[in-house]
């Protein structure tokens, strides 16, 4: 494993007492992030800044924006993003997938009950006023 040997991470301040997605407790790059670490290490901070500005411009030109009304700045803003992706390994993805499937089933059962059986309404769990 590699230590902080590339320019992008040269000023990165690790705190060993906190969870770090990229580095383990010894300061080595976690295996799941090694390829990305090496890829970013091949570029300078100047390259990264230039690429980030290019991505922001591309988002704006494609309309990947939102408008905040009522504030001092009444202008379009791009959706926040990070050029450095959050990598989700298969073990972590399995947990996320199970949770998403569980929630989808729960929502579908709730909607079925609201529009068909109406048990949740008859039992007073959800007031009818919220439905109609």
Q: Note the pLDDT of residue 109.
A: 97
**C-alpha distances in Å from residue 42, one per residue of 8, 47, 52, 85, 104:** 9, 10, 16, 16, 42
Q: Note the pLDDT of residue 55.
A: 94
When pLDDT is cut at 50, 70 and 90, the band that residue 75 belongs to is confident
- Dihedral angle at the C-alpha atoms of 59, 64, 70, 71, nearest 10 degrees? -20
What's the chain's average pLDDT? 89
pLDDT tens-digit series, residues 22-51: 999 888 999 999 999 999 888 888 998 999
Q: Note the pLDDT of residue 4.
A: 47
């Amino acid at each position: 494993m590699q230590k902080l040997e590339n320019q992008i991470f040269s000023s990165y301040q690790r705190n060993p007492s906190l969870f770090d997605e990229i580095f383990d407790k010894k300061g080595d790059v976690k295996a799941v992030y090694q390829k990305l670490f090496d890829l970013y290490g091949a570029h300078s901070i100047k390259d990264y800044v230039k690429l980030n500005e290019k991505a922001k411009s591309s988002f704006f030109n494609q309309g990947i924006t939102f408008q905040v009304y009522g504030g001092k700045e009444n202008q379009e803003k791009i959706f926040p993003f990070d050029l450095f992706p959050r990598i989700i390994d298969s073990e972590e993805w399995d947990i996320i997938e199970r949770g998403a499937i569980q929630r989808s089933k729960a929502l579908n059962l709730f909607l079925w009950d609201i529009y068909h059986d109406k048990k949740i309404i008859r039992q007073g769990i959800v007031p009818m006023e919220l439905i109609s």
